[in-house]
């Protein structure tokens, strides 16, 4: 809950960061969110492999310590560059924490309880996103974004003490690490997001954007070649020959793409569009969690009755439909209507998480429990990073285009905070209207993407089942 909640909590601080003395650009705001997520996503499989090799409890403890160090650096950062360094260190720590939590759990419980354990673990990571919103909102009422990072330090240290006291020591497996594969994967992912995030400001045909996409393609190709040749790959591309694993990974990426795109835009929408305070904004996401809390344990039985494909299809219909419903909201929309669409989205997340987590975990042998958990986390966090990058890009592009021509000409703002700070108070309504237009466009693009990718996941699953028959 800590490492996933941190991804969500930072979104609440985006308006506060935008108006802070750091003066971040629109793209810098996305990087402040995504730097943590990218290092988390790309190193979580090495984190799981390190746990298999060196001991899951020890790597879990090291990850919590790194998490605390990164949070200290972020809290004290005097500029954007050092804040990004702190976010990267925290992401490395999170990558060591998350896969080894599941690996320790699976080692500690008997075989007959592993299904329920996976479901509980998946639900807790899902709820972590909402706990991050609520807890982050409470912390940010103190008035500074720095408190958000400072507050996680004692939590991480307390958890390290508890892990040291109660977690069992599991057997080690002689599995070599793959540092070159990890470096190539991080580089390819950063280059891809560089192209997506810088597009609105630099121009889609600019050298930095074209170079970002080109470098990403080259590095992903090199990563694939390296992984196919090393004895113990970071992530063996041949695993994705298994249709069930391939479908489940794409499905998990898609669900988190939609959920964290929503988290990114939700905080700013409730604060700028509906006039909520930061604490009320954090509480405003709670309806999303109601289905997760009440229904997660029933999903396994429902999936057995309906079938895997039907359950997953319903999940994508609810997530995508909920996001499209949220895109119709505006400043005049009653919160109860907004909350209803959050519940719809939450139903989809509830159906997806245990079902897809079980499919991924069931596709790998027991001695790769850490790598399996890392693969789940990679798909989750990579989807989260892409969701933030894509909706941030669409939001910025549409926001700038929707601003009145005189505001664009006089001030050239790329964030709501910049526009509100540089225009006359009487023009605030125009700025907020442009922002809501951008938020709605971002949610429409995200919802449509979830529905299209969800259809591909279900179709692939049906075709693979037919092929086996």
pLDDT confidence of residue 440: 94
pLDDT confidence of residue 422: 78
Per-position b or e across 268-303, b if 16+ CB within 10 A of its CB: bbbbbbbebebbebbbbbbbbbbbbeebbeebbebb
Co-location of 83 and 124 in the same domain: yes
DSSP per position, 370-429: HHHHHHHHHHHHHHHHHHHHHHHHHHHHHHHHHS-HHHHHHH---SHHHHHHHS-GGGHH
Kindly give the parts of the chain with pLDDT less than 50.
none
Q: What is the pLDDT of residues 299-317, one digit of tens each?
A: 878 888 888 889 999 999 9
Co-location of 236 and 218 in the same domain: no
pLDDT confidence of residue 361: 73
CATH number at residue 395: 1.20.1250.20
pLDDT confidence of residue 115: 75
Co-location of 89 and 101 in the same domain: yes
Co-location of 166 and 33 in the same domain: yes
| Domain housing 209 | 179-229
Co-location of 390 and 298 in the same domain: yes
pLDDT confidence of residue 171: 67
Extended strands (E) in 150-278: none
Angle at 258 between CA 114 and CA 187, to 5 degrees: 85
pLDDT confidence of residue 125: 67
Q: Around Cβ 306, how many Cβ atoms within 10 Å?
A: 14
Cα 405 from Cα 403, distance rounded (Å):
6
Co-location of 275 and 424 in the same domain: yes
> Which of 91, 94, 104 has the alpha carbon at shortest distance from 162?
104
Q: Around Cβ 329, how many Cβ atoms within 10 Å?
A: 21
Co-location of 186 and 323 in the same domain: no
The residue whose two tokens read 């996680």 is 152
What is the separation of C-alpha 301 from the centre of its chain, rounded to a whole number of angstroms?
27
pLDDT confidence of residue 378: 77
pLDDT confidence of residue 225: 93
Q: Around Cβ 77, how many Cβ atoms within 10 Å?
A: 19
In this prediction the pTM is 0.83
Residues 178-182: contacts with CB within 8 Å, 24+ apart? 178/46, 178/49, 178/226, 178/227, 178/230, 178/232, 178/233, 178/234, 179/46, 180/226, 180/230, 181/223, 181/226, 181/227, 181/230, 181/233, 181/234, 181/235, 182/42, 182/43, 182/45, 182/46, 182/234
pLDDT confidence of residue 411: 67
Co-location of 190 and 145 in the same domain: no
Cα 16 from Cα 142, distance rounded (Å):
11
Six token digits for residue 179: 């540092």
Co-location of 255 and 222 in the same domain: no
Q: Where are the alpha helices (DSSP H) in 269-295?
A: 278-284, 289-295
pLDDT confidence of residue 344: 96
Q: Around Cβ 93, how many Cβ atoms within 10 Å?
A: 27
Six token digits for residue 181: 């594969």
The helix-helix angle for 369-402 and 179-202 (nearest 10°) equals: 10
Co-location of 216 and 132 in the same domain: no
Cα 82 from Cα 76, distance rounded (Å):
9
The residue whose two tokens read 């759990």 is 105
pLDDT confidence of residue 318: 97
- Alpha-carbon dihedral 183, 189, 193, 194, rounded to 10 degrees: 30
The helix-helix angle for 26-54 and 56-76 (nearest 10°) equals: 160
pLDDT confidence of residue 315: 94
List all residues 6 or more positions away from 414 whose beta carbon is below 8 Å from its beta carbon: 25, 26, 27, 200, 201, 396, 399, 400
The total of structural domains in the chain comes to 2
Co-location of 36 and 70 in the same domain: yes
Co-location of 281 and 348 in the same domain: yes
């Amino acid at each position: 809950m800590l490492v996933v909640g941190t991804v969500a909590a930072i979104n609440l601080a985006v308006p506060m960061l935008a108006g802070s003395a750091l003066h971040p650009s629109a793209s810098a705001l996305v990087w402040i969110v995504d730097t943590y997520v990218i290092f988390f996503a790309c190193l979580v499989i090495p984190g799981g492999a390190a746990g298999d090799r060196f001991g899951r409890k020890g790597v879990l403890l090291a990850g919590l310590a790194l998490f605390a160090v990164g949070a200290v650096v972020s809290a004290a950062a005097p500029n954007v560059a050092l804040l990004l360094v702190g976010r990267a260190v925290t992401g490395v720590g999170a990558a060591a924490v998350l896969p080894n939590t599941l690996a320790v759990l699976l080692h500690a419980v008997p075989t007959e309880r592993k299904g329920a354990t996976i479901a509980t673990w998946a639900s807790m990571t899902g709820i972590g996103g909402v706990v991050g919103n609520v807890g982050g909102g409470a912390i940010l009422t103190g008035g500074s974004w720095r408190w958000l990072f400072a507050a996680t330090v004692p939590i991480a240290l307390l958890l390290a003490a508890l892990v040291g006291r109660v977690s069992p020591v599991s057997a080690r497996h002689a599995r070599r690490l793959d540092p070159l594969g990890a470096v190539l994967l991080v580089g390819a992912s950063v280059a891809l997001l560089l192209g997506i995030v810088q597009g609105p400001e630099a121009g889609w045909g600019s050298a930095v954007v074209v170079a970002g996409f080109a470098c990403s393609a080259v590095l992903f190709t090199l990563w694939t070649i390296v992984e196919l040749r090393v004895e113990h790959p970071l992530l063996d591309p041949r695993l994705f020959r298994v249709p069930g694993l391939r479908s489940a990974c794409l499905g998990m990426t898609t669900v988190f793409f939609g959920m964290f795109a929503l988290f990114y835009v939700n905080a700013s929408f409730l604060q700028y569009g509906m006039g909520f305070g930061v604490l009320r904004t954090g509480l405003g996401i709670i309806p999303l969690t109601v289905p997760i809390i009440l229904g997660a344990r029933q999903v396994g039985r429902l999936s057995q009755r309906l079938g895997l494909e039907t359950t997953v299809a319903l999940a994508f219909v609810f997530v995508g439909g909920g996001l499209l419903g949220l895109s119709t909201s505006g400043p005049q929309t009653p919160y109860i209507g907004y909350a209803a669409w959050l519940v719809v989205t939450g139903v989809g997340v509830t159906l997806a998480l245990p079902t897809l987590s079980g499919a991924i975990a069931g596709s790998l042998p027991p001695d790769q429990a850490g790598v399996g958990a890392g693969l789940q986390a990679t798909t989750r966090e990579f989807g989260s990073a892409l969701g933030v990058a894509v909706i941030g890009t669409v939001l910025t592009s549409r926001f700038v285009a929707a601003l009145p021509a005189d505001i664009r000409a006089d001030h050239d703002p790329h964030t709501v905070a910049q526009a509100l700070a540089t225009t006359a108070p009487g023009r605030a309504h125009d700025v907020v209207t442009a922002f809501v237009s951008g938020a709605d466009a971002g949610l429409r693009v995200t919802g449509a993407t979830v529905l299209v990718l969800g259809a591909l996941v279900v179709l692939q699953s049906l075709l693979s089942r037919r092929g086996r028959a």
